[in-house]
Amino acid sequence: MTLTGVARYEPEQLSSVGDHAVVVGASMAGLCAARVLADGFEDVTVIERDPLPDEPVARRGVPQANHIHVLQEAGRATLTDLFPDFGENLLSNGGLVLDGTRDLKMYDEGDFNADSPHRIPVYSAIRPLYESIVRRSVTTLDNVQMRPECQFITFRTDEEVTAVEGVIVKPAGGQSEELPADLVIDTTGRTSHTPTWLKEHGYPSPPTDEVRINVTYSTTFIERPSDDRHGILVVPSAPRTRGGAFLPVENDQWQVTLFGMHGDHPPADLDGFQEYTASFPIPHHKRLLDEYPQITEEIVQYPFQSNMRRRYEDLDRFPDGLVVLGDAIASFNPLYGQGMSVAALEALEFHHALAAGGREDLPSRVFKRIKQTVDIAWSMAVGADVQFPQTEGPKPRSADVLNWYLTRLIRQAHTDGMLFDAFFRVQMMEQPPSSLFRPRIMWRVLRPTGG
């Protein structure tokens, strides 16, 4: 599902569901899950192995937070539903609100997009600011307790291992302790140990799809005049494996991230960084780096090997009392900026599953619901990645035809703002991809170009 396909958050729908729930992992998926659980459980405990400082800084457990994070409309709207003062807090802490198709431009298929006839507000901030704003809101909930510097060790179960009944954790410098719970949520991200735990306890592991793209991100910050709020994204487009983006963020900075797919990795020194941008099809990134001073000398890198999806919805046996959400279910090529928004939409689906049937058969109902959101994000990310012949992994059905159509759409959207508007709303996970096949859109895509 995309934003328009999921019913909105209605906390009053939820009556008492249980006494105690534990969330493992206090990143975006875990915090959104904690918000939802707080409506139906007496107490919610969030376990996180990192310290959780007040300031917006990248933590050890979330190293991707050093790199550009775009918050899509689906994420913005859902986070605002879950935390009504999200936008206000973000902006009062330095975040920006930009016009998604005027301040931000996308260069793809040989030109920039046309302006949309409508203003499309997009928040812009560094990833740690999004997380710290959400964390502060969760911390103010009376029945939620955060346990930073507390390592999850394993699940507690009943004797027959038919149900998870809590967790065993180890606080920093302390002894292991047991935390009984009616429900445990695994939001430990891509490296989640639940598949291994299932196998070790006589359950099938979820079938896993992996589509290899071998992309690396390199990121730095440069000074930005406070009245200049523009940003540009160059999308890697086969056969060109390179791309990059600069995004205006808080404290008069541009965050500059270069990305290279299939081993064409951007360097981690400024000279190499500038040289890399010299090979881009437009001069804007290089010019910016030449003109404005770097704020820190550091260039941080992040390698990301593959889109990965664990199909928990296909399992016919799974313990009661355990649900998995966020990157622990699926993580996508970060170029498409989906992860935080998918995590927020999944939390909303989780809320509806709790409201519809409480804890009864909860894991399988949640996995089936969120499958629809993951399906869409997966088809968009992997569908685009398979345009590169080097991409390895299962190819979505009809990907070639779809890519032909989308390439034509993007080219027409160089001069047709309406078309770009429709495309952007799909990219932002506001509208489903099927909206691009409405007759009035198809006509604009397929009409003769006149050239």
Ligand X SMILES: Cc1cc2nc3c(=O)[nH]c(=O)nc-3n(C[C@H](O)[C@H](O)[C@H](O)COP(=O)(O)OP(=O)(O)OC[C@H]3O[C@@H](n4cnc5c(N)ncnc54)[C@H](O)[C@@H]3O)c2cc1C
Specify the stretch interacting with ligand X by CB under 6 A; choose among 25-33, 138-146, 234-242, 285-293.
Answer: 25-33
CA distance 332 to 325: 14
Contact by Cβ (8 Å): 182, 23 = no
User: In this complex, which beta carbon is closest to ligand X, that of residue 273 or of residue 304?
Assistant: 304
DSSP 253-280: EEEEEEEESTT-PPPSSHHHHHHHHHTS
188 binds ligand X (CB under 6 A): yes
User: In this complex, which beta carbon is closest to ligand X, that of residue 13 or of residue 80?
Assistant: 80
Burial 240-276 (b: 16+ CB within 10 A, else e): bbbbbbbbbbbeebbbbbbbbbbebbbbeeeeebeeb
Residue 46 contacts by C-beta under 8 Å, 6 or more apart in sequence? 22, 23, 26, 30, 31, 34, 138, 144, 145, 146, 147
Least distance from ligand X to the Cβ atom of residue 350, Å: 13
For 212-253, the three-class secondary structure string (H helix, E strand, C coil) is EEEEEEEEEEEECCCCCCCEEEECCECCECEEEEEEEECCCE
Least distance from ligand X to the Cβ atom of residue 277, Å: 18
User: In this complex, which beta carbon is closest to ligand X, that of residue 304 or of residue 423?
Assistant: 304
Least distance from ligand X to the Cβ atom of residue 449, Å: 32
User: In this complex, which beta carbon is closest to ligand X, that of residue 131 or of residue 182?
Assistant: 131
CA distance 249 to 226: 10
Least distance from ligand X to the Cβ atom of residue 236, Å: 14
340 binds ligand X (CB under 6 A): yes
* Residues touching ligand X, count (CB under 6 A): 37
Least distance from ligand X to the Cβ atom of residue 366, Å: 14
Contact by Cβ (8 Å): 412, 449 = yes
CA distance 299 to 257: 9
CA distance 448 to 2: 31
214 binds ligand X (CB under 6 A): no
Least distance from ligand X to the Cβ atom of residue 29, Å: 3
Least distance from ligand X to the Cβ atom of residue 434, Å: 22
Binding-site member from 334, 363, 383, 417 for ligand X (CB under 6 A): 334
- Two structure tokens written together for 234: 């160059």
Binding-site member from 34, 35, 45, 49 for ligand X (CB under 6 A): 49
Question: Beta strand pairing status for 121-124 and 96-99?
Answer: antiparallel
Contact string 368-407 vs ligand X (x = CB under 6 A): ----------------------------------------
CA distance 429 to 372: 12
Contact string 406-445 vs ligand X (x = CB under 6 A): ----------------------------------------
166 binds ligand X (CB under 6 A): no
Binding-site member from 45, 218, 341, 391 for ligand X (CB under 6 A): 341
Site residues (CB under 6 A) for ligand X, limited to 126-155: 151-152
User: In this complex, which beta carbon is closest to ligand X, that of residue 374 or of residue 445?
Assistant: 374
DSSP 75-111: HHHHHHHHSTTHHHHHHHTT-EEEETTTTEEEEETTE
64 binds ligand X (CB under 6 A): yes
Specify the stretch interacting with ligand X by CB under 6 A; choose among 66-74, 309-317, 390-398, 436-444.
Answer: 66-74
Least distance from ligand X to the Cβ atom of residue 273, Å: 16
67 binds ligand X (CB under 6 A): yes
81 binds ligand X (CB under 6 A): no
236 binds ligand X (CB under 6 A): no
Question: Beta strand pairing status for 111-112 and 104-108?
Answer: antiparallel
CA distance 377 to 2: 9
Specify the stretch interacting with ligand X by CB under 6 A; choose among 137-145, 188-196, 229-237, 430-438.
Answer: 188-196
Binding-site member from 18, 166, 231, 326 for ligand X (CB under 6 A): 326
Contact by Cβ (8 Å): 155, 167 = yes
- Nearest Cα neighbor of 200 from 149, 155, 266, 152 is 155
Contact by Cβ (8 Å): 42, 20 = yes
Specify the stretch interacting with ligand X by CB under 6 A; choose among 221-229, 265-273, 321-329, 395-403.
Answer: 321-329
Q: Which residue has the tokens 């306890």?
A: 201
218 binds ligand X (CB under 6 A): no
Element (H, E) at 436: none
User: In this complex, which beta carbon is closest to ligand X, that of residue 50 or of residue 250?
Assistant: 50
Q: Which residues bind ligand X (CB under 6 A)?
A: 24-30, 47-50, 61-62, 64, 67-70, 151-152, 187-190, 217, 302, 304, 326-328, 334, 337-341, 343
